[in-house]
Amino acid sequence: MLSGSDENLLSSELAVSDLDSFPDEEIDFAVDAAGLLADAQVIDDLQIFPRVFDSGAGKASIVGGYLDEDTEALTVFNLISAEPNARLTLAQVRNVADQSVRIYRQASRVSQITSVPPELQEFSRQIDSAHEHISLIRLVLVTRGIAPAKSLEDYVIEGTRVRVDIFDSIRLGRAAGSSVSREDIVVNFEELTGSPLSCLAVRERDGSDFETYLAAIPGNALCSMYAEFNTRLLELNVRAFLGVRGKKTANAGLRETLLKEPGHFLAYNNGIVATVDALELTPDRLGIKSMRGLQIVNGGQTTASLHRAKVKDGANLDDVLVPAKIIHVRSGGEMLDQMVARISKSANTQNTVQPADFSANDPFHREVENLANNTWSPDGRARWFYERARGTYGVAEGIAEAKADTRRSFKAETPKERRFDKTQLARYLNAWEGRPFEVAAGAQKNFQFFMQRLKQTPVQIDEAWYERLIALAILYRTTERIVREEAFPAYRAIITVYTVASLGQLTAGRIDFAKMWREQSISAELQAMIRSWSHRLDELLRSSAGARMPTEWAKKEECWSAIRNDIPHAQDPLPPEIASGLVGTSSAGSTAQ
């Protein structure tokens, strides 16, 4: 099960507030499930505000949600109450779906309901403001029960498509695995376009570990795939979407072709290179009926530009065809990872690709993982676990569970609360280095910013650097706990990151990380200072935002510029970590600038 504090999978960016409307045990389950799905990149940047209320046009309910401005897709996260493994009816699913979608339909009214949490009021105002531009509403429903075999088909309300995605006890169990993000991507061309995707199989040598197909994917189909799966399609891609500003950028050229010469897109564009875990062909092998585990390893820029041109610029993609090389790697697993790295290095020609572009396979992350595996805390009893690839902690835990002599030692030596992943690493470092606005943009975007800088300025890491990183993790997580204890009604996540950034600003990065590492905690004096500062940062965030929404304002560098000169001053006596850090020289150094 997903409940219980020792099984808590809550992602640290999820700020929980106002739990009165649902039973506590149901909220525990839903929040744990949200954390799990965030880890699996099924959802991202989720705000949690559980509430059941009357929207003025019927019962409305929501556990959390987020609005993706780039793809103009709204995700509403909700709970279907059920006993463990109880079978749900389609009527139950439809009832919760109806309650969930009322947040969209009644957004302007919900934003005025004073009894709902401030964060939900603000979220509703965002929806109301973007209402006419939202092209997809994705209802992500979680339940302890078992979903019916037949689910709700996509439907349209007020011109906007609604898709219902149910994660029941079975599917959530699969989500705990390391490959859920890719495994859950299934594209059925017969449903998407009305017919199989025409293809040409490339003759391979006997015994080859892969097979290749050439195709031309309709622009509308690729756009729909990106709208549904978003960056999960690009999990193995080496670059993020870099924007379309400037006439000389490749993305600007793509946009111009889509708007002025859509019929020539096939001739002008290199297209995409994709890998799949499995595919279903027509009997004559001249068509692809469906694909599972699709990943675009080259062509992320093309895909995102295509979607942006349709959504932002109103481009007509009816005549657009995108050339595609589709590679089915038969062996999967490690062989897939190796092939993806080589395909990416060979195929990416629009921008120079550095080794630091390769996310989980990046040498930087491998070295952090190696240091985590071999660096024990000063008492020699425990270590931190770096989850370089999603799900590896669960794999390691499963291996340890299978052996009686390691079952107890793994949990004692590598407790779950000492697990951290790539997005958390980027969050800790960027916050301390004075980039709270990037952290506020969300886990995935912040990670992309971090990796782009790392590519430009590689960092040499050693044991001292790693100990400093863990000290930062302790500082950040303690700040999160304190902010949670202070029970701010809203904006806990951004209060946390701006408080940490302010500490970095005050000390100019000079703080006694070695003391934090030795004690694996921070002093009571520093905790008291953080507690006081958090209230001041809350005031500064709200006042500097003015008429703007604080959560959106916090994502702008101008927000940090407005706040950084008004942060509180440390009062004597200084906390020992700050006093000793200012007296001597710290081994902290600097991370990717």
What CA–CA distance (Å, rounded) separates 396 from 178? 11
Radius of gyration, CA atoms only, the chain: 24
- The residue type found at 297 is V
Q: In Å, how far from its chain's centre is CA 227?
A: 15
Does position 350 have pLDDT exceeding 70, yes or no? no
Token pair, residue 223, equals 């756009």
* Closest C-alpha among 177, 86, 170, 99 to residue 139: 99
Q: What is the mean pLDDT of residues 407-430?
A: 89
Q: Of the spans 114-123, 322-331, 420-429, which averages the highest pLDDT?
A: 420-429
Instruction: State residue 244's pLDDT score.
Output: 40
pLDDT tens digits, one per residue of 303-326: 888 887 887 788 899 999 999 999
Q: Which of 69-83, 226-240, 266-280, 396-410 has the lowest mean pLDDT?
A: 226-240
* Confidence at 57, pLDDT banded by 50, 70, 90: confident
Mean pLDDT of the 109-124 span: 85
CA angle 294, 296, 297 (to 5 degrees): 125
Share of the chain above pLDDT 90, in %: 38
**Average pLDDT of span 443-462:** 87
Whole-prediction pTM value?
0.59
**Cα 187 to Cα 43: distance, rounded to the nearest angstrom:** 19
The pLDDT of residue 197 is above 80: yes
* Type of residue found at 361: N
Of the pLDDT bands very low, low, confident and very high (cuts 50, 70, 90), residue 358 is: very low
- Report pLDDT digits (tens) over 124-171: 988 988 888 888 899 999 999 999 877 788 888 888 889 999 999 888
Indicate the pLDDT class of residue 334, thresholds 50, 70 and 90: low
* CA gap 303, 270 in Å, rounded: 12
Average pLDDT, the chain: 81
Has residue 518 got a pLDDT over 70? yes
> Rounded to whole angstroms, how far apart are CA atoms 278 and 421?
28
Separation of alpha carbons 123 and 31, rounded Å: 18
The pLDDT of 580-591, averaged and rounded, is 44
Residues 6 or more apart from 421 whose CB is under 8 A from it?
39, 386, 387, 388, 390
pLDDT band at 584 (very low <50, low <70, confident <90, very high): very low
Cα distance between residue 431 and residue 297, in whole Å: 30
pLDDT(95) > 80: yes
C-alpha–C-alpha distance, residues 593 and 587, integer Å: 17
Return the DSSP state at 122: H
Rounded Cα distance between 479 and 535, Å, is 12
Measure Cα distances from 107 to 231, 312, 419, 560 in Å.
27, 22, 38, 30
CB-based burial of residue 464 (10 Å sphere; 0-12 exposed, 13-18 middle, 19+ buried)?
middle
Of the candidates 172, 152, 171, the residue with the CA atom closest to the CA atom of residue 162: 152
Q: Does residue 445 contact residue 438 with C-beta atoms inside 8 Å?
A: yes
Q: Which residues contact 296 (CB under 8 A, 6 or more apart)?
A: 233, 234, 236, 237, 272, 273, 274, 303
